């Protein structure tokens, strides 16, 4: 029963992160801190966490619970292979019980073993098409992840990936809305400038736009910038764009 309560609490915290984070990067940073705290409580020992993220054919350490976790993860990127990268690319959980003796990635294992890290757990995070991620958990003692600990990490990752997908989608929608607003504001300034030119020159809208375009090209400025300068010379306040509620 306690385990169910813990999972419910973590799920609520993840939902709060999505709501309260300003952007995806902020969400990931807080996700790593929450992951480290929740898994440390579940294991009864301190662990650190990092998130490896691959988008648009670029793989990076996207967030970390402390600077050490970032370093352990980035060392892996330097070698181009390791348990967390393998977990992300294959979609399977990878467990390294002892970095000093695991034969699969000996160079990486020896590198972080020399820094006092002997257990590594990589758990994949399933995202939307075109992106992949993994939750990487590091421990300072060998063989700290037993079967129950691995299940706990996988349960946490299953909750985290849902929140991460939602955060990414919200971020994309926010960017789309911002781009749309910017485009409409740009259109407002251009339309006003065209109207001014039409009034001054008693010309058509097409002719006014041609004049604006030539001015933009001749001054090597964006069309919107030229339009805003013209409008500003007639009105002290920036033009307002009105959106339907």
* Distance of alpha carbon 104 from alpha carbon 72, whole angstroms: 17
Task: Tell me which CATH homologous superfamily contains domain 2-171.
Answer: GAF domain (3.30.450.40)
Q: Which fold has domain 182-232?
A: Arc Repressor Mutant, subunit A (1.10.10)
| Placement of tokens 């990487």 in the chain | 136
132: left (phi over 0), alpha (psi -120 to 50) or beta: beta
How many CB atoms neighbour CB 16 within 10 A? Answer: 13
Residue intervals in the chain for CATH 3.30.450.40: 2-171
Q: How many residues are listed for the chain in this entry?
A: 245
pLDDT number for residue 44: 87
pLDDT number for residue 227: 83
- pLDDT exceeds cutoff 70 at 228: yes
pLDDT tier at 202 (50, 70, 90 boundaries)?
confident
The pTM score is: 0.62
pLDDT of 98-113, one tens digit each?
A: 999 999 999 999 999 9
* Distance of alpha carbon 212 from alpha carbon 230, whole angstroms: 10
Enter the DSSP assignment of 137. E
pLDDT of 40-70, one tens digit each?
A: 988 889 999 998 988 777 888 888 999 999 9
């Amino acid at each position: 029963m306690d385990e169910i309560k813990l999972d419910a609490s973590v799920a609520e915290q993840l939902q709060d992160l999505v709501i309260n984070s300003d952007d995806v990067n902020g969400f990931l940073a807080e996700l790593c801190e929450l992951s480290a705290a929740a898994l440390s409580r579940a294991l009864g020992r301190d662990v650190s966490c990092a998130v490896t993220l691959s988008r648009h054919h670029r793989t990076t350490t996207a967030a970390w619970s402390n600077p050490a976790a970032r370093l352990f993860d980035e060392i892996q990127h330097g070698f181009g292979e390791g348990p967390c990268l393998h977990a992300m690319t294959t979609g399977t959980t990878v467990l390294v019980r002892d970095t000093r003796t695991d034969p699969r990635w000996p160079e990486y294992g020896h590198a972080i073993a020399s820094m006092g890290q002997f257990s590594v757990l990589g758990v994949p995070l399933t995202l939307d098409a075109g992106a992949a991620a993994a939750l990487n958990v590091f421990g300072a003692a060998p063989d700290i992840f037993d079967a129950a600990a691995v299940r706990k990490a996988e349960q946490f990752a299953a909750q985290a990936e849902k929140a991460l997908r939602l955060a990414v989608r919200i971020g994309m929608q926010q960017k789309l809305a911002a781009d749309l607003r910017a485009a409409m504001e740009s259109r407002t300034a251009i339309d006003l400038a065209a109207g001014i030119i039409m009034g001054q020159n008693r010309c058509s809208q097409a002719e006014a736009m041609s004049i604006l375009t030539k001015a933009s090209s001749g001054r090597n400025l964006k069309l919107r910038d030229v339009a805003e300068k013209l409008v500003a010379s007639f009105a002290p306040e920036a033009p307002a764009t009105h959106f339907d509620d």
